[in-house]
Structure 1
């Protein structure tokens, strides 16, 4: 294997290490309580919501990436990857809204519990999800037939 061939893998590992370090640094500044609930109690209270959101994240991501071999897309086509990242963002957000609504719990509290469960501040959790929604819109526009 040539050095340029494994360059993307090395940059991905370095980026992952940097991201993990940043999240660990930010996690030290997380609030210890939210509306009278400790972080542990908040995670227990919204355990089902957090698990569903995490499961739906991976389902959306894998579903979009499965389109490459199943849908016959070229490896340089961005649409399935964008669709996967978009679904991996939309589906957890829907879980974070629908499950607390159906169980009579606070939706904002569920978002905070999800962020605490990820070990990150709320803004650092929701910002990538918002970016994923943009990717979803780009992917859906890319799948539209181009008419003349």
Structure 2
């Protein structure tokens, strides 16, 4: 077994270790509630919304992967990456705002519950999703070009 065949496994293990370490550190610094409600109450109240947002995140990634596999794009073409990461950033944010509004709830609570579910600060969670959402117009433009 040569190093080139092991490198992706080592990279994945190191990435997983860093992710677990970061979330364990961040979890200790997260607020214990929002607007007088505990984290448990907020997450329970928005459980379905968070589930839908997570499903939409993975659907966006699936769109990008499907474009590479089924769309005939080369592995060096950035269009599927931009579209997939764009949808995986935009669709959860849209769901986390729209669903509570339709249900007569506060979107900030759903956004907070999603961040608590990810065990990361809101700035990190929505920084990553925001970067993804910002890629969507570029990906859609490249699709049309």
Same structural fold, with TM-score higher than 0.5 when normalized by the shorter chain: yes
Separation in 1, partners of 2:8, 2:134: 24
Aligned position for 1:123 = 123
Match of 1:22 in 2: 22
Aligned to 2:56: 56
Q: How does 1:1-148 map to 2 (within 5 A)?
A: 1-145=1-145
**Distance verdict in 2 for CA 1:137–1:16, change over 3 Å:** farther
Runs of 4+ aligned structure 1 residues displaced above 4 Å come to: none
Please, which runs of 5 or more residues in structure 2 have no aligned partner?
A: none
Normalising by structure 1, what TM-score?
Answer: 0.90
> How far apart in 1 are the matches of 2:70 and 2:26?
39
Q: Given the two structures, how large is their TM-score scaled by the length of structure 2?
A: 0.91
Query: What SS class does the counterpart of residue 57 from structure 1 fall into?
Result: helix
The Cα RMSD (Å) is: 1.5
**What's the offset of the Cα at 1:23?**
1.7
Unmatched segments (≥5 aa) in structure 1: none
Note the alpha carbon deviations across 1:59-90, whole angstroms, 9 max, x for none: 11112211112111112222112211111111
In structure 1, C-alpha distance between the alignment counterparts of 2:122 and 2:98, rounded to whole Å: 18
Moved more, 128-137 or 107-116: 128-137
